[in-house]
Amino acid sequence: MSEASRSAPHPKPYILGIHAYQPGKSQSASGKPLIKLSANENPLGTSPLALAALSAARAEAATYPDPDSLGLREKIAEVHGLDPALVVCGTGSDELLNLAAQGFAGAGDEVLFSRHSFAVYDIAARRCGAQPVEAPDTAYTADVDALLAAVTPHTRVVFLANPNNPTGTWLPPAEVARLHAGLPSDVLLVVDEAYGEYVAPEYQSAAFELAAQYPNVLVTRTFSKIYGLAAERIGWATGAAPLIDVLNRIRGPFNVTASGQAAACAALGDQEFVRASREHNAAQRTALAEVVTQLGNHGLSFVPSEANFLLVLFEGQVSAAAALDALAEEGYAVRHLPGQGLPHALRITIGKSGDMARVAACLKRLCGEAA
């Protein structure tokens, strides 16, 4: 080996193929702090019960947390009617998504997901040396037939975000079941329900039922979105025992902090906060959608959303880039995702009502309409 090639450690080439995840911004180009409508955080904050549990847990900072998050898993199981043995907790659902890819895919394998879906899936595939494969979507929505057509003998894992980020679109249970039924039984279907609690309550357990019935379905949830605990990094997954066993073998040994476990347990006990968050979101999302509809003659439209954000399309005189700047001028950070094939769109997280009114007024002014 030459001296030059010995001079530094060599990263794996597939790792250099990764573009690091770009988090939502919280300041303008000039460094001005902005109100974040860019990371799908809960504008109502966190349940006061969870905040109290967080403070109390600080006293125990010197001791390691429960490595198995047992109390939290029991509480999750109680709230959702699941078996706690079939629940595993993670450092955010992000850890679990990565472990699902790592546990079941590697070099020579393919990890399949839909166009315009969650940016972490591409990273999770590449991290373990697998090939990420994108199936076309239809009207910004995962297309079951296109996903099934993209399955090859190399496909090992399929990721479906439902509702999807960044589009907000949602596949009803029958479509998810049709996707599952069309997959070979040795392909793992990961249904990522980070926004599952925003969906109408009657549909919320459908994916859990699929996971309970079949050995190749994993469902993930998070405390980062409706539960307002993004800072604590807590997610969880449920699926058949052999799937949970794989994730337990490769997860971090103390992967959920003691404060996180305590706060998440308390948050699960405050379903009134969850209900209020869902209702606030639905009302404010409808209001924003109405304003965008009024601006339809200026080329604005939106993608129907079941999540806590709205993808607004700018296909007239006013560009998404111009709207991004105008909103920043107004004090708001929203998400522009040209790198994900959405240069003509902004993903706007549903915020507090006052902020949403100012966002709406800004969009109207930008279109030359009275705000």
Ligand X SMILES: *Cc1c(COP(=O)(O)O)cnc(C)c1O
Binding site for ligand X (CB under 6 A): 40, 92-94, 118, 161, 165, 192, 194, 222, 224-225, 230, 235
**Residue 285 Cβ, how far from ligand X at the closest point, in Å?**
16
Residue 161 or 356 with smaller CB distance to ligand X: 161
Phi then psi dihedrals of residue 109, to 5 deg: -100, 165
**Residue 162 Cβ, how far from ligand X at the closest point, in Å?**
9
**Strand-pair category, 309-314 with 342-349:** antiparallel
**Residue 351 Cβ, how far from ligand X at the closest point, in Å?**
16
Residue 40 or 46 with smaller CB distance to ligand X: 40
Residue 94 or 109 with smaller CB distance to ligand X: 94
Extract the tokens encoding 169: 């679109």
> Which DSSP category does 218 fall into?
E
**Residue 39 Cβ, how far from ligand X at the closest point, in Å?**
8
Instruction: Using CB positions, name the residue nearest to ligand X.
Output: 92
CB 251 within 8 A of CB 88: yes
Residue 38 or 131 with smaller CB distance to ligand X: 38
d(CA 290, CA 331): 22
List beta partners, residue 113: 134
d(CA 252, CA 324): 38
**Residue 222 Cβ, how far from ligand X at the closest point, in Å?**
3
What's the Cα-to-Cα distance from 348 to each of 11, 315, 324, rounded to whole Å?
A: 36, 16, 10
Residue 127 or 298 with smaller CB distance to ligand X: 127
Residue 39 or 148 with smaller CB distance to ligand X: 39
Which residue is listed with tokens 């001079």?
7
**Residue 168 Cβ, how far from ligand X at the closest point, in Å?**
10
What's the Cα-to-Cα distance from 126 to each of 94, 111, 155, 244, rounded to whole Å?
A: 14, 9, 14, 22
3-state secondary structure (DSSP) of residue 145? helix
d(CA 314, CA 323): 9
Residue 73 or 358 with smaller CB distance to ligand X: 73
User: CA angle, 344 as apex, 340 and 348 as ends, to 5°?
Assistant: 80
CB 148 within 8 A of CB 160: no
**Residue 164 Cβ, how far from ligand X at the closest point, in Å?**
7
